[in-house]
């Protein structure tokens, strides 16, 4: 694959790598992305996915929200792929300082990554909207209809940033700090279409590498663009020499 040697060279020369990724990082784990031809946005529902996974829709129609959410956004059997594993290894050998992800699937942590900024939250955290009691994802998976709090009967909401909601400011600040100190930013598996997340890459003072199946609006800004599957590409990298 073109660019692999150059990628390895950049990684060998860097000591503060940050990875910034999106849904494409998990497609090789069997979780569909949003915008590829076979992605979530191209499947048919009564409402478009952007409508269903919005704050207003959750508040006005939680039952329909949860029907879609359980069917299309929870992938309990998904396992980390070679990309998640290599990023965890790069952190372990002291070369990677943080993963910044738009994903909500928790696969980076499952692979062993420790510093993970989840810009859009996680399906693994769920809270009662009324009293704040927290619930694991199993609570959502193992119930039907609208999941309610054992203590107060409030509606449980996933800690996932829905359309119309703000990103967590602490997570955002942590991600900006990590990126602004990076000597190499590896971006992968993201269409770079969702803001403000996509805007974060402008904070990088170092080199930028883009690994994606399709072109992105930032290809011109990158020092190296590799077209391919991120699991295959990162899987071929040597973390330590």
Whichever of 62 and 106 has its CB closer to ligand NAD, that residue is: 106
Stretch that binds ligand NAD, among 8-16, 20-28, 56-64, 168-176 (CB under 6 A): 20-28
* Residue bearing tokens 């170092």: 206
Listed residue (149, 196, 143) closest to 173, CA to CA: 196
- Strand order of the β-sheet with 17-21 is 116-118, 96-101, 17-21, 184-188, 207-212, 224-227
Please report how close the Cβ of residue 159 comes to ligand NAD at its closest, in angstroms. 13
Whichever of 152 and 193 has its CB closer to ligand NAD, that residue is: 193
Please report how close the Cβ of residue 46 comes to ligand NAD at its closest, in angstroms. 20
Out of 49, 80, 158, 189, name the contact with ligand NAD by CB under 6 A.
Answer: 189
Q: Is residue 28 part of the contact set for ligand NAD (CB under 6 A)?
A: yes
Residue 61 is encoded by which pair of tokens? 């129609």
Ramachandran area for residue 171 (φ above 0: left; ψ -120 to 50: alpha; else beta): alpha
Residue 70 is encoded by which pair of tokens? 């359980």
Out of 102, 109, 113, 126, name the contact with ligand NAD by CB under 6 A.
Answer: 102
Please report how close the Cβ of residue 229 comes to ligand NAD at its closest, in angstroms. 4
Whichever of 147 and 158 has its CB closer to ligand NAD, that residue is: 158
Whichever of 16 and 176 has its CB closer to ligand NAD, that residue is: 176
Helices (H), the chain: 4-13, 49-52, 55-60, 62-72, 82-92, 107-111, 137-141, 169-180, 230-235
Report how far apart the first and last C-alpha atoms of the chain are (Å, whole number).
21
Q: Is residue 65 part of the contact set for ligand NAD (CB under 6 A)?
A: no
Long-range contacts of 225-228 (CB under 8 A, 24+ apart): 225/3, 226/1, 226/2, 226/3, 226/4, 226/7, 227/2, 228/1
Q: Is residue 34 part of the contact set for ligand NAD (CB under 6 A)?
A: yes
Please report how close the Cβ of residue 100 comes to ligand NAD at its closest, in angstroms. 11
Q: Is residue 23 part of the contact set for ligand NAD (CB under 6 A)?
A: yes
- Interface of this chain with ligand NAD, residues 199 to 238, rule: CB under 6 A: 212-214, 229-231
Active site residue 124: no
Q: Tell me the catalytic residues.
A: 120
């Amino acid at each position: 694959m073109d660019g692999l040697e150059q990628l390895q060279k950049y990684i060998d020369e860097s000591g503060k790598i940050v990875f910034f990724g999106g849904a494409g990082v998990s497609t090789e784990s069997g979780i569909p992305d949003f915008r590829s031809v076979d992605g979530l946005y191209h499947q048919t529902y009564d409402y478009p996915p952007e409508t269903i996974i919005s704050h207003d829709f959750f508040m006005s129609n939680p039952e329909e929200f949860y029907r879609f959410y359980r069917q299309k956004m929870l992938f309990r059997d998904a396992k980390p792929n070679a990309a998640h594993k290599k990023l965890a290894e790069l952190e372990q050998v002291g070369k990677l300082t943080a993963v910044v992800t738009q994903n909500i699937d928790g696969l980076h942590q499952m692979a062993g990554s420790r510093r993970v900024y989840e810009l859009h939250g996680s399906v693994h955290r769920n809270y009662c909207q009324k009293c704040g009691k927290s619930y694991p994802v199993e609570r959502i998976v193992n119930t039907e209809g609208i999941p309610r709090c054992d203590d107060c009967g409030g509606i449980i909401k996933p800690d996932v940033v829905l359309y119309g909601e703000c990103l967590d400011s602490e997570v955002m600040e942590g991600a900006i700090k990590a990126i602004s100190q990076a000597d190499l930013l590896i971006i992968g598996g993201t269409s770079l279409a969702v803001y403000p997340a996509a805007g974060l890459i402008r904070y990088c003072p170092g080199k930028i590498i883009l690994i994606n199946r399709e072109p992105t609006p930032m290809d011109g800004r990158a020092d190296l663009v590799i077209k391919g599957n991120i699991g295959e590409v990162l899987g071929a990298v040597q973390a330590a020499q």
